[in-house]
Structure 1
């Protein structure tokens, strides 16, 4: 312990002397922050993860240039109030603590925050004030106790990634379809029974993970999404049937489809696209994704040929008889 404390003091002294913009005090078994921290006004990156911190002193409000703060894997039971003074903060890591709620007043003080990691906590509710994080691009709240997602999340137009894996969600708000830049959405291992109508709003979505839920069917228009990765194993999906009006082009944009380890079953459409089948065989995606689908389509065409041949044979027999 004495050695750790000496290393901690040495790091602080070094930062004071050199005016280093980054200070790493992770894994030092620190239980409190010394007041001298308030003198490190030039610090930009501060790493205090993997310690035993239960609070932060108000003296830290002097760190007005701080853009990245890592408080992961400590023993915080609440988000330290002093964080509301870090208006320049871009990245905030609070994973693996004991946080149960998000104070609205702290959220309102972080207008430039772009990344928020709250994984492995005890959060049940995300307040409507989350919309105050107007610059937020990535939010991750995995392994918590979330029961619902606030509709206000749909107002955060900068969001590109949302991760709510392993919570207690039963539904998602339709407002999530209003996010114009959303590319990655992780909702695995919740209690979702359906996705709301309006999936066409996800024009930029590339990765969707809904594995381990209670879904039985995807909403109308889902096949038109231009996804690159889709994970949906562990659900009770009703198998899709071959339909005449589907978008084969969008279906073939998928790179990965996971469905309980079995061959993927998808709907296809636009008969004019079938004529381009041979070109698709050489695509990068096709080689490892839709081999089973190819066989399925091939068998359909083979069946049609057999029926056609049988019809021709019957016609020839009739003609011979009447000739």
Structure 2
């Protein structure tokens, strides 16, 4: 099976009318006004100027500054920024997006440089003098043709960010591991076969991106990267991950798609993991104790593997929002998955399932979960209680100390019809940012939530009995995620358009006939879930106002016409329209995915 995509060499596309600039033309880009700005700010940006050479004037811009001469003529009206004592040394140099093939050795004269951006050029080597810039904190070299890094790169003792992605590197110098101040390292899209031994010395790294290379094994000391929060190993030849991966206790994001991994490692200790991607590997089983180590996990991608069984205990991962088992060897799905309170996406296509019909799978996640809940049997009761943490007769509310520890107020599945005022007082003292009240019996939104308006970033009120949303929710201007799914809502107050920080709005399984007007005023919306409602039309003129939206789910509504102008919303990366009454686009087009749908609609726009 072909698991990898070859890294293609990047070639600049040159327009027939484009010509390589002469040195004189390059020099003109560094005007007198720009030189004055550089002296005043210490920042020079010459990006996207089609430069074939670095202007020679760059190296003389400070020659007219004589720091030994003090002008004592107070009647002279000098411009403040031109006085020598206000001149700033060059600290930021941006030469990105040009056609440079070399950087002059004179760059070494700018010893105060902290940022150098040489991305998107045609560089093959780096001048030795670049390594003398010991104050550099950020060096950006991506999208060039560099095939080797200098052995003395360790001289850049203050370097925090190094991006050498999209080049032609086959190996890394051993001295790289001596950049002990490094926080972000991007090595993606090269030809690297191994990471240097000793990489564990880079204890400050938070982001390590090594995707799209030819890496086969990882050095054992990679687990010493105790500050690591993001590890991207996509599209390599890795067969196994270190058994002691659990030592990466701050790890939040793990990308390991398109490799040759056959076994899920022991994640004991990775309590901060939020997203794990293992798609397109050779994994055959999920450890029974997998759930014990990843209780905070929100996204688990195991698509395109060889998994035959899903342990029922995986339903103990109550924070899961996305679960992908597409194209595996599953014959059954545990009914306990139907109890996951926050699950918004469960993908099971491409399996040989016996107990779930294909039409149910195609209908979407909510129908699958409903089907699974209907299959719960009496012998599952003990497991259900264990998974859900079913409440006793007396509900014990968390105190502010517990809430402060996790910055969350979690009251899921407590059969609550109201929340006492003192709970929100305690939550306010703990400055709680996340409130989860899903799967209760709330008929109104608790007024006590107003106390958290200065802190709240996530709010989940799904699976309640809400028929209306109060105006006071407009005060939640810091809210980024709002889930009101599985209620009885038919409209939202216009004032909610004031929720300027909102990025994700989940409204599926309600009673909306129209998309609420307030949504069109939420300019920051990126994800909008309106599936399983009663929508009968798409107001395209209003919808076009949402210029940041990337995910739009309108499945299972009553929409009988899809306006072709929807195809112009090319920023949408996921568009779901199945389960409506329109005839066009046809189901075959919908099956081909978002790009095909948008392209089809654009072709239908009247010319």
Corresponding residue to 1:157 among 271, 287, 290: 271
2:287 aligns to what? 173
Task: Encode CA deviations 1:116-157: one digit per residue, 9 max, x unaligned.
Answer: 00011111111212122111111111101111112x124311
Distance 1:56 1:9 in 2: 23
1:65 aligns to what? 181
**What TM-score, normalized to structure 2?**
0.41
More helix by share: 1
Question: How well do the aligned residues superpose, as a CA RMSD in angstroms?
Answer: 3.4
SS at match of 1:145: coil
Structure 1 residue 28 and structure 2 residue 144: aligned?
yes
Contact 2:174 2:196 in 1 (8 A): no
Q: Which region of structure 1 is more displaced relative to structure 2, 152-161 or 141-150?
A: 152-161
**Structure of greater relative contact order (alpha carbons < 8 Å, 6+ residues apart):** 1
The change in CA–CA distance for 1:182 and 1:258 in structure 2 (over 3 A counts) is farther
The structural deviation recorded for 1:19 is 2.2
Contact 1:45 1:68 in 2 (8 A): yes
1:222 aligns to what? 337
How many residue pairs get matched?
274
The change in CA–CA distance for 1:258 and 1:83 in structure 2 (over 3 A counts) is farther
Contact 2:277 2:301 in 1 (8 A): yes
1:6 aligns to what? 102
The structural deviation recorded for 1:236 is 1.8
Distance 1:172 1:14 in 2: 57
The structural deviation recorded for 1:217 is 1.5
Q: How does 1:138-153 map to 2 (within 5 A)?
A: 138-150=253-265, 152-153=266-267
Q: Which region of structure 1 is more displaced relative to structure 2, 65-74 or 78-87?
A: 78-87
Distance 2:345 2:196 in 1: 37
Task: Encode CA deviations 1:246-300: one digit per residue, 9 max, x unaligned.
Answer: xxxxxxxxxxx99357894442559xx9xx79935416453245669xx9xxxxx
Distance 1:195 1:14 in 2: 62
The structural deviation recorded for 1:61 is 3.3
Contact 1:142 1:167 in 2 (8 A): yes
1:114 aligns to what? 229
- Gaps in structure 2 of 5+ consecutive residues: 1-51, 54-98, 116-136, 377-440, 442-464, 466-485, 489-508, 513-529, 534-553, 559-578, 580-607
Contact 2:177 2:196 in 1 (8 A): no
1:202 aligns to what? 317
1:310 aligns to what? none
Contact 1:233 1:261 in 2 (8 A): no
Contact 1:188 1:212 in 2 (8 A): yes
2:114 aligns to what? 19
- Gaps in structure 1 of 5+ consecutive residues: 242-256, 296-323
**What TM-score, normalized to structure 1?**
0.74
The change in CA–CA distance for 1:80 and 1:8 in structure 2 (over 3 A counts) is farther
Q: Which region of structure 1 is more displaced relative to structure 2, 156-165 or 218-227?
A: 218-227
Distance 2:253 2:161 in 1: 19
1:81 aligns to what? 197
Contact 2:248 2:269 in 1 (8 A): no
